[in-house]
Chain A
Amino acid sequence: MASEAHVPVETLALREQFDTEAQQKDASTLGMWIFLITEVMFFGGMFCAYTVYRRAYSDAFAVASASLNVTIGAINTAVLLVSSFTMVLAVRASQLGQRRTLILFLVLTLIFGGIFLGVKAYEWNEKFEQHHVPGPSFHLDGVPQQGHAQLFFSLYFAMTGLHAAHMVIGVGLLSWLIWMAYKGTFTAEYNTPVDIAGLYWHFVDIIWIFLFPLLYLIDRHLPK
C-alpha cells in the first residue's frame, strides 16, 4: 500500500503525517495512555515517600489522619465519581455526534469538578484555622512527636495539592472542549479530543480514589 507523500488538504481528523483517520485516532489514544503512565510515575514518587513515612511513623499518621474530615472527603469522592460518569456520557454523546448533549454533559462535568475544587479549598482553609499546616505554628493534639504529624500534613498538602493542580488542568481542558463543541468541531467522525480528555479526567479521578483511603481512612482499619 504505497500512498502519495503529499496529502493535499490537511484536516483535524487527518493530519498530513498520517495515512488514515483510524491511524491518527489510534496514535492519539496511545499517546494519551503513555502520558498517563508518566503521570503514574510522577505521582508514584509521592506515594513512595508516603509509604516510607507511614511505615516509619504509623502512630502519628493514624492520629493525624483521624483529624481529617471524613464526611467531607467522602462527599468529595462521590462528587468526583459522578463527574466521571457525566464524562463518560459526554464521550458517548460525542461519538454519536449529539452536539447539544455533548455540551450538556461537558458542562455538568465541569461543574462537578468545580465543586470538588471548592470543597478542597474549604478543607485546606480549615487546616489553616486549626494550625494543621506545616510550619512554625503547627500543632496537632495527641501526638508526642509533632514533626511526624507535620510530615503527614506535608504529604497531605503535597499530594492533594498536586491532585488539585491536575484537576485545574482538567477544568481548563473541559472549558476548551466546551468551546470547541459549541463551535461544532466534534462530529461522529472526529471526536478524539473528547475521548482522550476523558481518559485524563478518569485518571485524575482514580488518583483521588487512592488518595482518599490513604489520607483519610488510616485509623479506620487499625485494631482499636
Chain B
Amino acid sequence: MITAAVQERENYLNATSGLKSWLLTKDHKRIGLLYLATITLFFFLGGVFATLIRIELLTPGGGLVSSETYNKLFTMHGVTMIFFFLIPSIPAVLGNFFLPMMIGARDLAFPRINLLSWYLLVIGGLFALFAMLAGGVDTGWTFYTPYSTTYSNTWVIATALGIFVAGFSSILTGLNFIVTVHRMRAPGMTWFRMPLFVWAHYATALIQVLGTPVLAVTIVLVFCERVFHIGIFDPALGGDPVLFQHLFWFYSHPAVYIMILPAMGVVSELVSTFSRKPIFGYRVVAFSSVAIAVLGFLVWGHHLFVSGQSLYAGMVFSFLSYFVAIPSAIKVFNWTATLYKGSISYATPMLYAFGFIGLFTIGGLTGLFVAALGIDVHVTDTYFVVAHFHYIMVGGAIMAYLGGLHYWWPKITGRLYPEGWAKLSALVIFLGFNLTFFPQFILGYLGMPRRYHTYPDEFQILHVLSTAGASVLAVGYAIPMIYFAWSLRYGKVAGANPWGASGLEWKTASPPPAHNFDRIPVVTSEAYDYSTVVGEAVEVG
C-alpha cells in the first residue's frame, strides 16, 4: 500500500517522537508547525471578538454589550489579530518552513534562536491572554496616550508587556532570516536566483529588525509613564502625547508591510507556478519588495494628519505615501503580465492568488484616498479606514496566507487536500469577505465613525449586510480547518512535486527529510525555470 510506504520513509515528522521532541525541536519545519498551531488559536480568538463586534453592530441601539465592553472587544480583536496572528502568520509559519528549503539550506542559521522566538511569542501571548481573561483592555490596539498612560483602568501593562515580548520574537525571526539569506544559500544559489518569496521575506526581515525595537522602547516608555508617571507623554509636565503617536506609527506603519510583503512573496510563487512562467520582470519585483520596506519607514506621519502635525510635514508624508504605491503597483502589473500567455491552471492556491490581486488592488487604491490630505480629513476614524485596512490585512494578507497554506500543504504533510471543497471555500471566503467589508467603505464615507457601538438608524442596513458577510466569512474559514484535518489521514498521497513547481523545496520528498535534502542541491538555473521540471503535475479539480 502506498500509505504504508509513505509512513515508513523517514521524514521530519517521524524522525523523533514524543512531546519533548516537539517542544525542544531545533528543526525549522517543526517550529513552523508549532507557530501554525499557536497562531491558529489566536486567529480563532480574534475571530470570536470580531463575531461579538459584528453581532453587536446588527442593531443601532447597542443592546448586546455595554460601551465599555465594546471598547475592550475591538481592542482585543486588534491586538490579537495584529500582534499574535498577522505579524507572525506568513513569516513564522511558511517562511520558517520554506525559506531555508528554498535556498537549499539544512536549517536557519540559528535554530535555537528560532525556537526561542516561538517561546517568546507564546509567553507574550500568555501575557495578553491573561490581560483578556482578567478583565481586558480598552485603549484600542494603538494605545494612544494619555488615555493609555493615565486614564484607562484596564489591563494596559499586561497587554503591553505581552506585545513587548512578542516583539522580540519578531525581531529574532527577522535576524535569523537575514543571516540565513546572507550566509546559508546553497552552491549556485545567487541573490538573483532566489525565489521572490525569499526576497519578500528578506525585505520583511529588514522591517522587523529596524522597526520592532522602536515599538519596544515605546512600550517601555508607556510602562514607565503608567507606573512611575515620569511625564514623557503627559502634557501637565510639558510632555507631548503626539510624540507617542510618532514613535508608535514609526513601527506600526511599517508593521503593515511586515504583514503584506510576505503575502506578496507567496503570491509571486503561486502566480508563477500556476501559469508555468517565470515572474515577469523578476529583478524589478525583487527590488520592489526592498523599496516597499525602505519607503514604508518614511510614511508614518500619514496617521497624524489630524493630530496637530504641521501642514508641511503632512504634505511630505502624503507625497511619500503616494510614492509607496509605485512599488506596490509594479508587483500587481508584473503578476498580471506574468499571466499573459501562461498555461494557467485554476487550482485552489491560484484562486487565492487571484483573490489577493483583486482585493489588494482595492485596498491599495483606497489607501491613496486616505493618503490624500483633504479626503483623509473627511474619512479619518471612519469605517472607510476600517474597510481599507481590512482589504489589505484580510483580503490581502490572509488570502495569501491561505493560498500559501494550500500550495505547500502537500509538502508539509505529504497529503493533498480535497480540491473541490477547497475551491468552494475559496469562493465562499471571497464572497463573504466582500460582503463584510465593502459596505464598510460606504458606511465610512457616509460618516459612520469607527469604535462606536451605537449608530443612527439609517446605517443599519449596511451594518446588517456587513454582519451577514462576516457569517459567510466564518463558514469560509471553518471549511479549510475541517478538510485540512481530514486530509492528514484521508487525503491523497502527494508526490514530491504535485504542482509541477520549480522551487528547491519541491525537489525533495514530501514530507521532507529532517535535514531537508538528502544531498545539498547545486543550483544551475534561474528561479522559475520550468524547462527542467518533469511533468509530474497531478490532475486537480
Contact = CB atoms under 8 A, between A and B. Distances in A.
Interface in A1-26: 1-6, 15-19, 23, 26
B347 to A, nearest CB: 31
A15 B109 CA distance: 9
B163 to A, nearest CB: 15
B218 interface: yes
Contact of A27 (B179, B246, B522): B179
A38 B236 CA distance: 32
B175 A5 contact: no
A145 B235 CA distance: 13
A1 B522 CA distance: 7
A110 to B, nearest CB: 25
A45 B228 contact: no
B321 interface: no
A58 to B, nearest CB: 12
B108 A151 contact: no
B206 to A, nearest CB: 10
Interface string B222-242: 001000111110001111100
Interface residues of A, number: 45
Given A34-B175, A147-B231, A42 B238 contact: no
Given A4-B519, A158-B230, A23 B108 contact: no
A3 B184 CA distance: 13
Interface stretch (A49-57, A75-83, A179-187): A49-57
B218 to A, nearest CB: 6
Interface in B235-267: 236-240, 243, 246-247, 250
Nearest to A134: B230
Interface in B194-216: 209-214, 216
Interface stretch (B73-81, B279-287, B477-485, B510-518): B510-518
A187 B237 CA distance: 55
Contacts of B106: 5, 16-17
B238 to A, nearest CB: 5
A160 interface: no
Contacts of A49: 221, 232, 243, 247
B232 A154 contact: yes
Nearest to B218: A45
Interface residues of B, number: 52
A224 B244 CA distance: 34
B210 A155 contact: no
B147 to A, nearest CB: 19
A35 interface: yes
A135 B234 CA distance: 13
B515 A6 contact: yes
Interface string B271-284: 00000000000000
Contacts of B519: 2-5
Contacts of B220: 158, 162
A57 B231 CA distance: 14
A150 B214 CA distance: 23
A67 to B, nearest CB: 17
A34 B520 contact: no
B231 A45 contact: no
Contacts of B420: none
Contacts of A16: 106-107, 515
A49 to B, nearest CB: 6
A5 B516 contact: yes
A125 B247 CA distance: 31
A39 B213 contact: yes
B12 interface: no
A41 B513 contact: no
A38 B221 contact: no
B357 interface: no
Contacts of A18: 184
Contacts of B212: 38
B175 A17 contact: no
A5 B213 CA distance: 36
A99 interface: no
A147 B213 contact: no
A31 B214 contact: no
B395 to A, nearest CB: 31
Contacts of A72: none
B105 interface: yes
Interface in B38-60: none
B171 interface: yes
B518 A23 contact: no
Given A23-B184, A148-B238, A154-B224, 11 more contacts: A5-B106, A19-B520, A38-B171, A38-B210, A41-B217, A44-B213, A45-B221, A148-B237, A151-B237, A151-B239, A162-B217
Interface of B: 105-111, 113, 171, 175-176, 178-179, 182-184, 187, 209-214, 216-218, 220-221, 224, 228-232, 236-240, 243, 246-247, 250, 513, 515-522
24 contacts: A2-B520, A3-B519, A5-B516, A17-B105, A17-B111, A17-B184, A31-B179, A38-B171, A38-B209, A42-B213, A42-B214, A42-B216, A43-B217, A44-B214, A44-B217, A45-B221, A49-B221, A53-B240, A134-B230, A135-B228, A148-B237, A151-B238, A154-B231, A158-B230
Please name the 7 residue pairs, one residue from A and one from B, whose CB atoms are nearest each other, closest first: A147-B237, A45-B217, A154-B230, A42-B213, A17-B107, A41-B213, A5-B515
